[in-house]
Amino acid sequence: MMYYMHNRAMKRWGTLVARVLLSAAFLYSGIWKVLAFSTAVGYFASAGLPLPSMLVVLSTIIEVGFGLMLLSGFMARIAAKVLFVFVILLTVAFNTNWSDQLQLMMAFNDFSIMGGLLMVIIYGPGPISFRCWCPKCKFDGKCHLCEDGDCSAENHSQ
C-alpha cells in the first residue's frame, strides 16, 4: 500500500517538478538575453551567425514563451517539440567543436535537456498542469480532444 501511494505521488508531483526544472533553463536564458541584450548579440555574432540581433530577439521569444508553456503545462507537448528543435539548432550553432572539452560538456548538457523534452513529448505534462480551457472539456485535466495541444473549435464540433 505504501509503495502505491508513493508511486501515485511521484507521478502526480514528479512531472510538475520535472517541468519546473526543464523550463528554468529556458526562462533563465531568455530573461538573461533581455537584461544583457548587447552581450547576447555579441555572443551570437562571435559564433558567426547572420543577423545576430534578430536571432537574439527570436530566441528570447522562443525561450520565454515556450518555456512558460512548458512550465504551466498548457500545450506542453507542442512547447516541448519546439524547444527540442530549438536545442538541436543551438547545439549545431554553438557546440560542434567536440575537441574542446567545454563545448563537449555543453553538447552533452543539451542532449540531457533534449531527453527531458522528449519525455514531455511522449508522456505529456502530467496531471498538475493547465491542459485546456475549452468549453466542451470536462475540466478534469483530461481533455482527449485537445491532447496534442490543438484546441481549435473544429476539434470540438464532433
Tell me the three state secondary structure of residue 36: coil
Residue 8: inside a domain: yes
C-alpha cell at 116: 527531458
Q: What is the mean pLDDT of residues 42-55?
A: 94
Residue 62: inside a domain: yes
Q: How far is Cα 134 from Cα 122, in angstroms, rounded to an integer?
A: 22
pTM of whole model > 0.85? no
Residue 78: inside a domain: yes
Q: What is the mean pLDDT of residues 103-118?
A: 94
**Residues 6+ positions from 60 with CB-CB distance below 8 Å:** 30, 33, 34
Residue 137: inside a domain: no
Domain span at 63 = 2-132
Residue 141: inside a domain: no
Give tens-digit pLDDT for 30-43. Answer: 999 999 999 999 99
| Domain total of the chain | 1
Say whether pLDDT at 116 is over 90: yes
Q: Which pLDDT score is estimated for 140?
A: 47
